[in-house]
Amino acid sequence: MSLNSRVLRALSVFFLSLLLPLSSLAQELAETSVPAQKRVRAVRVDTPPVIDGKLDEAVWQLAEPITDFHQIRPGNQTAPSEATEVYVLYDDDALYIGARMADREPGLIAAPVIRHGQGLGSDDRLVVILDPFNTRRTGYRFETNLNAVRHDALYTSVNSFQLEWNTIWDTATSTYDNGWIAELEIPFKSLPFDPSIDTWGFNFGRGIRRRGEEMAWVSYNRTYNPSISGVVTGLEGMNQGLGLDVVPSFSMNRDKQFDLRTSDTNMDPSLDVFYRLTPSLNAALTINTDFSATEVDNRQVNLTRFNLFFPEKRDFFLNDSDLFQFGGIGGFGGNSAESRGSRENARPYFSRKLGLSQTGAPVDIRYGGRISGRVGRWNIGTLAIRQDEFGTVDASDLLISRVSANVLRESSVGFILTDGDPASNLDNSVYGMDFRYLNTRLSGGQVLEADAWFQKSDTPGLNGDDEAYGLGLRSPNNTGLRGGVGFKEVQRNFNPAMGYINRSNIRDYTADVGYTHFFRDSFLQSAYFGVDAQRINVIDGGLQSQVLAFRLLELDTNTRDRISLGYQSNKEVVLRPFAVYRAPDRSVFIPAGSYSFDEASVSLSTAGQREFSGRLSLSNGDFYNGKRNNINGSLSWTQSRNFVMSMSYDWNDITLPQGDFITRLTSLSTQVAFSSTLYWVSLVQYDNLSEEIGVNTRIQWIPRAGQEGFIVLNYNLQDRDKNNSFEAASSDLAVKFKYTFRF
């Protein structure tokens, strides 16, 4: 047995020895380890406050102020540096939240972001978490900053959320002599809820970026999420109206192919209808679904023999996407030895398989329907669409159905079924079952997660060896010891036609263990060190891939700067040569064989609240039977809240006996905010593998939540002769406007 194999096995045994005692004692420790749940009563009002960011109306004085916030960083359960007061009101139509956030230096409040929907990780911000069903499993996250930017997210599990999700709500902010004020209005029509439940999961957070300070109303183990929250009581008699949203849209597209000297102009109406069958169960209908204003994918360079993973960005598929999550497969995870594609491998349902060809070209969706929501302890998600024909593939009917039941205190058991193949004329179906265990109430602030799942596919011509199954056990703690172990088997003929798969006929073993230490009274906030490992074996053979990632030291400062040192040991067994580099004039192949290669890295990143911020990563080492140097970095200039420019660059210099090559991937983005409702965002990308420059520029107008207008131009230039003489290849101009009628 090799040294790396022994290390991987030792990590798994060591971590299991730590977790098994915790698991056996979980129930005994649960009640004694968690502090009493905080509660606040929402006050019902007849006249709603005006959302103007002033907090000066008498109606706010009716609410009980929430003031007992505490630090979670850099301190833990310590007094915050500034006072925070939060007020909660409601009427028939909406929930109203007001916050007065003291700051002795209001001129230093960080607010570089002005565009709605953009992340606020570099801003001073207010965070609100709502769990309308009080299940402590999923929920909704609302954030705003001093510029009254709306940023929302959907929790797909307690430890991960879907940033692309959005709904209709409003906010306004202002400053005063000693801080800033935020007011939020969240319509009840924007959230599913059960009117018989008058107690919602509820939490608040606040960030002060220049001090690296995070505070919360309720936290545990330096974190807060739907499972770690207080409650708001007294919510009765809310009005969801008819529960009907009608969203017509109209787009005009002009597509031009310069090579073929062809152009095409289309004017397409589209309609989305959303109806609440019950207060907690939603139906959606889409006709001639329009994705013309969807953001473009960020380019990636693939130096492996396996498919890359690109996340979903289309709103229709993001709504209620948490209900379709299965087995804990995917997400960002905490094991750096795994690639994103490896973590996502064997997903039974991946929405990017719908409405897109295998090359990423859009495919029309004629119509579709979805039923999603919750009925008692049951979580339901069913999607059926009619996809248009493309190429040699006939029009197809596609179905995804997912049902799960909440069990125990924070866990669930479920079933999934998919039927149809969007990329061929063959039949295909997949069914699967999963159990997800969560316990956030262990002694010492520890958390325990576990997943077990099984899937089977049915494809004509593929008989036997068509199953996949997996197990996982994790303790994802933010402080002290953390880690996890996992196993996944994906058999040779397992074929989820509407899912994601990048390796089959494999057994995938993962293990990671690490320790986080938080400093006191220091400019350093925390230090982390650990080991992450992955080993993938061929089912009927030996090793395919192995990675040992030694995270030697990761230091974070209170101002959110970071330095990291790492060392990675790789093993790859290549059975058939594969092209690691393709260009019009030549290709470089990795020959069949067994390879061991190591790499050292150092990276530095600075916090985004500064005028200039960036990230730089340097790595050097072996690469298969050669050498690789890598430089990966980015630089952002926040000239003002109205103008931001960012540049990223990834450079690989690879030397192999079969041939040397260099890969370059660069992007330049600009954001111009004419106001809080009108933006101009551009992204230019180039890589020397495709020798293509892609330009995506979009003007977005949001007069108010639920109303959007777009002008989007995609323009591609190609260097066919590799002489830096770029010629126009294609262009696509789209103009789109949509309006939400809410009843």
The C-alpha atoms of residue 76 and residue 80 are separated, in whole angstroms, by 10
pTM: 0.83
Task: Based on the fold, state whether residues 516 and 598 are members of the same structural domain.
Answer: no
pLDDT at 35: 55
The reply to whether 687 falls in a domain is no
- The owner of tokens 């400093």 is 519
Which residue, of 597, 624, 647, is where some domain finishes?
A: 647
Task: Based on the fold, state whether residues 635 and 599 are members of the same structural domain.
Answer: yes
Closest by Cα among 743, 705, 713, 712 to 731: 713
Task: Based on the fold, state whether residues 16 and 40 are members of the same structural domain.
Answer: no
Query: How would you label 411-444 residue by residue, b for 16+ Cβ within 10 Å and e otherwise?
Result: bbbbebbbbbbbbeeeebbbbbbbbbbbbbbbee
pLDDT at 720: 78
Q: CB count, 10 Å around CB of 521?
A: 6
The reply to whether 710 falls in a domain is no
Strands 213-216 and 70-73: antiparallel
CA distances for 718 relative to 369, 692, 712, 714, 729, angstroms: 39, 5, 20, 13, 6
Task: Based on the fold, state whether residues 212 and 360 are members of the same structural domain.
Answer: no
Torsion of CA 556, 560, 566, 568, to 10 degrees: 130
Residue ranges in the chain whose pLDDT is less than 50: 3-4, 7-8, 10-34
CA distances for 99 relative to 60, 105, 179, angstroms: 10, 17, 11
- Half-sphere exposure in the Cβ direction for 612 (13 Å, CA): 1
Task: Based on the fold, state whether residues 545 and 585 are members of the same structural domain.
Answer: no
Task: Based on the fold, state whether residues 229 and 369 are members of the same structural domain.
Answer: no
Task: Based on the fold, state whether residues 406 and 325 are members of the same structural domain.
Answer: yes
pLDDT at 279: 77
The reply to whether 679 falls in a domain is no
Strands 70-73 and 262-278: unpaired
pLDDT at 36: 64
Domain count for the chain, please give it. 3
- Residue numbers of the domain that contains 587: 561-647
The reply to whether 626 falls in a domain is yes
Q: Exposed/middle/buried for 741, CB within 10 Å: 0-12, 13-18, 19+?
A: exposed
Which residue, of 596, 621, 647, is where some domain finishes?
A: 647
The reply to whether 80 falls in a domain is yes
The C-alpha atoms of residue 615 and residue 562 are separated, in whole angstroms, by 9
Task: Based on the fold, state whether residues 354 and 500 are members of the same structural domain.
Answer: yes
What amino acid is encoded at 613 in this protein? S
Contacts of 159 (CB under 8 A, 6+ apart): 225, 449, 476
CATH number reported for the structural domain that contains residue 163 in this entry: 2.60.40.1190
Question: Do residues 152 and 118 touch, judged by C-beta distance below 8 A?
Answer: no
Task: Based on the fold, state whether residues 22 and 44 are members of the same structural domain.
Answer: no
The C-alpha atoms of residue 179 and residue 475 are separated, in whole angstroms, by 38
The reply to whether 671 falls in a domain is no
CA–centroid distance for 647 within its chain: 22
Dihedral (CA of 422, 452, 313, 665) sign: negative
What is the per-residue pLDDT across 154-205, written as a single tens digit (0 to 9) for each?
887 777 777 777 889 999 999 999 999 999 999 998 888 888 899 999 999 9
Phi, psi of 135 (to 5 degrees): -90, -15
273: left (phi over 0), alpha (psi -120 to 50) or beta: beta
Task: Based on the fold, state whether residues 516 and 600 are members of the same structural domain.
Answer: no
pLDDT at 122: 87
pLDDT at 220: 84
Task: Based on the fold, state whether residues 412 and 542 are members of the same structural domain.
Answer: yes
Instruction: For residue 470, give both structure tokens.
Output: 């997996």
Helix (H) or strand (E) segment spanning residue 156 = strand 151-157
Task: Based on the fold, state whether residues 353 and 478 are members of the same structural domain.
Answer: yes
Which residue, of 199, 233, 267, is where some domain finishes?
A: 233
